């Protein structure tokens, strides 16, 4: 039921989850962990984004700052320069575009040029970002980025001894330690809080960590200052990618979290005692993750963001060890029970390599699909992947067998060459033979004026209603195969909108929104075509009203093209 009832409103789009939605990863960065630099050129990025749409992506997630472990932060200006041309181009092709950013300036600009979703890796902890998203109707993704295990603390060994001699000796040691401590307090400027370069405040050092010797406090303080400088420094990778130092905060919290996560993953040692089980207790981990996600969602709702605009993401790999990531994925059902659409964003992450034994991130796609399938089975609604074509094929195969789900669709048929009525009836019969598909209803056949290219013969037109269990792009390929079997000329010599033996246009499919070069759903020209809207009146009540509700601009009859001029018979 969770798959069927959740919806996600993202600007002018409304996504339903009767099937899992695929979010394609488009990194416009030189340093992302698995595909850095491949799509750094805007033209390459646009081409790759359109290819992912044509391969089956429902959403394209565009990011201009790598947040891999040990990443180098970039300024908002540099990030905007990378992503805005790509967001604009993909949105113009009808894509549902998500902007992956933690900078409110970038989010504002991206939504202005067509992005429908703001994916904030810091989970909307910035009040400015909250203020922005509450003032528009974009979808939001709350992600958890934080460390789940506290850093290890040094513990002083305590030996219990009830003898009087031991008691006196302990008192003497305490008095000596107290005198030494009072002497050190005189130099509180060294041991107390220190302001370092970039405005970073170094907290007081614990006395237990100060080595013996009169010069120890000064040496320890200098060492701490140097470590702090190393931890917050943000060097540019090279001159071409360098950004001005005053535009990047030197105390970047997310960068610090990911640096520490990188070290923990490199040599992970449990901070607690040796375990008797393969994984730590899940309860404290899930309390932190689910507590953060639900608290942030509640805060957004109280600020004025509608609940049906909110989606959540547990943030695989962000400040988490492999053990913690596995626990979180196993608890997907608990996160889904919060009632918000849930993202599974594990593609090529380090823990996927850990459980599969694959070191190269780009070679982890098969293991990624396995983890994603587990998440889908337990309630994940959106899967964020790099290999869209591979995962779409994987999901279509699994879904066809595991989830019987016939959905309604409309297909327009047209012909103005040869025996027009026979061509339309032959197309209907071939469509009825498509696997997992049946023809459930047919309009009458109408004659219409030519549209767009006027110097040609009149058309015969009809619309059929079908039920299908195929994915939209798979169904489209089957419809193109029908056209080919009936002799449709799709070579370069064929005139656009010119004469044709048969035309099979997929107009609309229940619950589907799609953009790209290969398929647009709903059909972008449906609302201006009289030769489509009139036959649809045979199949549904008031199609103009229905498709206006679906977000299409439906013209009045006198303003349409391809007007119906007569009726040719039944189909």
Q: Which domain holds residue 485?
A: 407-570
359 and 444 both lie in a single domain: no
469 and 521 both lie in a single domain: yes
The pLDDT value recorded for residue 200 is 42
304 and 398 both lie in a single domain: yes
Q: Give a yes or no: residue 430 inside a domain.
A: yes
Q: Give a yes or no: residue 169 inside a domain.
A: no
Last residue of a domain, one of 345, 376, 402: 402
Q: Give a yes or no: residue 135 inside a domain.
A: yes
34 and 143 both lie in a single domain: yes
418 and 390 both lie in a single domain: no
Q: Give a yes or no: residue 458 inside a domain.
A: yes
62 and 32 both lie in a single domain: yes
Q: Give a yes or no: residue 225 inside a domain.
A: no
| CA-atom Rg of the chain in angstroms | 30
The secondary structure of 325-366 as a DSSP string is HHHHHHTHHHHHTTSS-BEE--TT-HHHHHHHT--SGGG-HH
Share of the chain above pLDDT 70, in %: 75
pLDDT band at 132 (very low <50, low <70, confident <90, very high): very high
Q: Give a yes or no: residue 9 inside a domain.
A: yes
Strand runs (DSSP E) across 185-258, as ranges? 194-195, 201-202
pLDDT band at 475 (very low <50, low <70, confident <90, very high): very high
The pLDDT value recorded for residue 79 is 93
- CATH number of the domain bearing residue 58: 3.20.20.20
481 and 556 both lie in a single domain: yes
Q: Give a yes or no: residue 217 inside a domain.
A: no
Residues written for the chain: 571
Contact (Cβ atoms closer than 8 angstroms) between residue 384 and residue 393: no
456 and 320 both lie in a single domain: no
What burial class does residue 222 get, using C-beta atoms within 10 Å of its C-beta: 0-12 exposed, 13-18 middle, 19+ buried? exposed
Instruction: Give the pLDDT mean for 336-356.
Output: 94
Q: How far apart are CA 215 and CA 184, in angstroms?
A: 11
Mapped onto helix, strand or coil, the DSSP state of residue 221 is: helix
Query: Residues 484, 490, 496, CA angle at the centre, nearest 5°?
Result: 135
The pLDDT value recorded for residue 231 is 45
Q: Give a yes or no: residue 394 inside a domain.
A: yes
Last residue of a domain, one of 402, 425, 452: 402
Cα 463 to Cα 39, 117, 482, 493, 504: the distances in Å are 41, 34, 15, 27, 9
373: enclosing H helix or E strand: helix 365-377
The secondary structure of 57-84 as a DSSP string is -SEEEEESS--STTPPP--HHHHHHHHH
pLDDT band at 469 (very low <50, low <70, confident <90, very high): very high
- CATH number of the domain bearing residue 536: 3.30.70.560
42 and 71 both lie in a single domain: yes
Last residue of a domain, one of 367, 402, 437: 402
What burial class does residue 471 get, using C-beta atoms within 10 Å of its C-beta: 0-12 exposed, 13-18 middle, 19+ buried? buried
Looking at the structure of the chain, the number of domains it has is 2
398 and 411 both lie in a single domain: no
The pLDDT value recorded for residue 228 is 44
pLDDT band at 186 (very low <50, low <70, confident <90, very high): very low
Contact (Cβ atoms closer than 8 angstroms) between residue 102 and residue 120: yes
424 and 481 both lie in a single domain: yes
Instruction: Give the pLDDT mean for 220-230.
Output: 49
Contact (Cβ atoms closer than 8 angstroms) between residue 386 and residue 9: no
Q: How far apart are CA 136 and CA 302, in angstroms?
A: 15
356 and 427 both lie in a single domain: no
pLDDT band at 490 (very low <50, low <70, confident <90, very high): confident
């Amino acid at each position: 039921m969770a798959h069927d009832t959740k919806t996600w409103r993202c600007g002018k789009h409304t996504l339903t989850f009767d099937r899992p939605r695929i979010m394609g990863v488009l990194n416009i960065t030189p340093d992302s962990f698995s595909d850095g630099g491949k799509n750094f050129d805007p033209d390459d990025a646009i081409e790759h984004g359109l290819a992912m749409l044509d391969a089956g992506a429902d959403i394209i997630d565009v990011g201009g700052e790598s947040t891999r472990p040990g990443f180098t932060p970039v300024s908002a200006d540099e990030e905007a320069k990378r992503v805005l041309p790509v967001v604009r181009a993909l949105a113009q092709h009808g894509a549902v575009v998500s902007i992956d950013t933690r900078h409110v300036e970038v989010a504002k600009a991206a939504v202005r040029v067509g992005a429908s979703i703001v994916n904030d890796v810091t989970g909307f902890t910035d009040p400015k970002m909250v203020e922005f998203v509450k003032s528009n109707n974009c979808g939001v993704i709350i992600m958890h980025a934080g460390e789940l295990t506290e850093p290890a603390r040094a513990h002083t060994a305590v030996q219990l001894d009830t003898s009087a001699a031991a008691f006196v000796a302990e008192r003497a040691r305490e008095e000596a330690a107290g005198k030494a401590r009072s002497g050190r307090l005189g130099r509180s400027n060294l041991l107390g809080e220190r302001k370092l370069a970039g405005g970073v405040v170094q907290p007081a050092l614990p006395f237990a960590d100060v080595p013996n010797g009169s010069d120890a406090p000064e040496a320890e303080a200098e060492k701490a200052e140097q470590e702090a400088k190393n931890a917050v420094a943000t060097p540019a990778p090279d001159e071409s990618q360098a950004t001005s130092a005053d535009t990047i905060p030197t105390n970047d919290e997310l960068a610090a979290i990911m640096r520490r996560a990188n070290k923990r993953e490199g040599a992970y040692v449990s901070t607690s005692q040796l375990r008797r089980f393969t994984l730590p207790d899940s309860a404290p981990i899930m309390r932190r993750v689910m507590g953060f996600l639900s608290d942030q969602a509640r805060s957004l709702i109280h600020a004025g963001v509608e609940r049906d605009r909110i989606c959540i993401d547990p943030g695989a790999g962000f400040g988490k060890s492999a053990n913690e990531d596995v626990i979180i994925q196993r608890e997907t059902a608990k996160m889904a029970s919060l009632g918000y659409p849930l993202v599974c964003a594990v593609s090529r992450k380090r823990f996927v390599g850990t459980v599969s034994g694959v070191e190269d991130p780009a070679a982890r796609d098969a293991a990624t699909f396995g983890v994603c399938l587990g998440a889908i089975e337990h309630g994940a609604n959106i899967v964020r992947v790099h290999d869209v074509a591979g995962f779409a094929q994987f999901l279509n195969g699994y879904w066809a067998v595991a989830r019987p789900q016939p959905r309604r669709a409309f297909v327009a048929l047209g012909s103005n060459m040869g025996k027009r009525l026979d061509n339309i009836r032959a197309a209907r019969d071939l469509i009825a033979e498509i696997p997992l598909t049946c023809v459930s209803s047919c309009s009458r056949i109408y004659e219409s004026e030519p549209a767009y290219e006027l110097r040609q013969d009149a058309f015969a037109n009809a619309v059929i209603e079908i039920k299908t269990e195929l994915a939209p792009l798979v169904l489209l390929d089957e419809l193109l195969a029908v056209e080919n079997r009936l002799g449709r000329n799709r070579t370069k010599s064929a005139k656009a909108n010119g004469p044709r033996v048969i035309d099979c246009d997929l107009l609309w499919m229940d619950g589907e929104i799609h953009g790209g070069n290969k398929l647009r759903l709903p059909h972008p020209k449906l609302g201006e075509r009289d030769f489509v809207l009139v036959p649809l009146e045979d199949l549904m009540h008031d199609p103009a009203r229905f498709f206006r509700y679906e977000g299409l601009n439906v013209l009045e009859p006198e303003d349409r093209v391809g007007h119906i001029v007569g009726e040719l018979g039944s189909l």
